[in-house]
């Protein structure tokens, strides 16, 4: 087994041996008489989907959910993502904070336009959809940011929240521990 190949037994051979397959398209037949025969197989590789990796801009998610019509596979091809991602967006399984009335900052729209430039033959169509979106006012953008933050769970060991009297309470999830209050002014050097 040269080259770090990993073999997995799949089935018994009618001639009394066993077939072992590798990812390198080789089949080794091992007979009871300890005779090993190496045979080349002709397996075809499935081409990888031509998708863009990374975080999809929220304005693009909005466009898929509320502005685009078409099947999941058509939109997946258009936005260079997977059918599952399109289905999840349409069925509100992710990006739940993106509602129909939301408006985005110019920065968010620019991120979507930048990503749209990588969509090949669909770039102009998607850019047209994104450019048709209205830029939100400062209040709209602040409301969206607040809505987005409210749906996210705190990360890390301790979730800290600021209270109205400028103290920070820390809860590490241990119900037996005492609540620790610290004045915010003491934390700032």
pLDDT at res. 63: 96
Do 128 and 78 have their domain in common? yes
Could you tell me the residue range of the domain that residue 34 belongs to?
A: 2-40
Do 65 and 11 have their domain in common? no
Interval 14-27: pLDDT, tens = 555 444 444 445 55
pLDDT at res. 22: 41
How many domains is the chain built from? 3
pLDDT band at 151 (very low <50, low <70, confident <90, very high): confident
Residue 33 lies in a domain: yes
Per-residue buried b or exposed e for 112-140, using 16+ beta carbons within 10 Å of the residue's own CB? bbebbeebeeeeeebeebbeebeebeeeb
Average pLDDT, the chain: 75
**Residue 31 CB neighbours (<10 A):** 13
Backbone angles phi, psi at 169, to 5 degrees: -105, 140
Interval 77-129: pLDDT, tens = 999 999 999 999 999 999 989 999 999 999 999 999 999 999 999 999 999 99
DSSP secondary structure of the chain: -GGG---EEEEE-TTSSEEEE-TTSEEEEE-TTS-EEEEE--PPPPPPP----SPPPHHHHHIIIII--S-HHHHHHHHTS-HHHHHHHHTTSS-TT--TT--B-HHHHHHHHHHHTTSGGGHHHHHHHHHTSPBPPHHHHHHHHHHHHHHSPP-SS-EEEE-TTSEEEEE-S-TTSPPEEEEHHHH--
Residue 51 lies in a domain: no
Do 163 and 147 have their domain in common? no
Do 78 and 97 have their domain in common? yes
Looking at the chain, how many residues does it have? 189
Do 165 and 135 have their domain in common? no
Do 98 and 145 have their domain in common? yes
For residue 178, pLDDT over 70 is answered with no
**Residue 171 CB neighbours (<10 A):** 14
C-alpha 188/C-alpha 143 separation (Å) is 28
pLDDT at res. 185: 61
High-pLDDT (> 90) share of the chain, %:
47
């Amino acid at each position: 087994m040269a080259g770090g190949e990993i073999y997995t037994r799949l089935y018994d051979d009618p001639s009394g041996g066993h077939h072992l397959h590798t990812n390198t398209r080789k089949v080794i037949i091992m007979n009871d008489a300890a005779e090993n025969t190496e045979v080349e197989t002709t397996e075809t590789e499935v081409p990888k989907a031509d998708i863009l990796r990374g975080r999809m801009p929220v304005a693009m998610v909005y466009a898929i959910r509320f502005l685009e019509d078409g099947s999941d596979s058509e939109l997946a091809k258009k936005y260079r993502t997977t059918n599952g991602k399109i289905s999840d967006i349409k069925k509100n399984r992710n990006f739940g904070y993106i509602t129909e009335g939301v408006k985005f900052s110019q920065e968010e729209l620019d991120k979507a336009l930048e990503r749209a430039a990588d969509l090949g033959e669909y770039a102009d169509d998607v850019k047209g959809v994104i450019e048709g979106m209205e830029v939100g006012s400062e209040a709209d953008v602040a409301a969206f940011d607040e809505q987005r933050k409210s749906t996210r769970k705190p990360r890390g060991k301790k979730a800290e929240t600021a209270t109205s009297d400028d103290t920070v309470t820390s809860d590490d999830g241990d119900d037996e521990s005492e609540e620790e209050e610290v004045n915010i002014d003491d934390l700032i050097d």
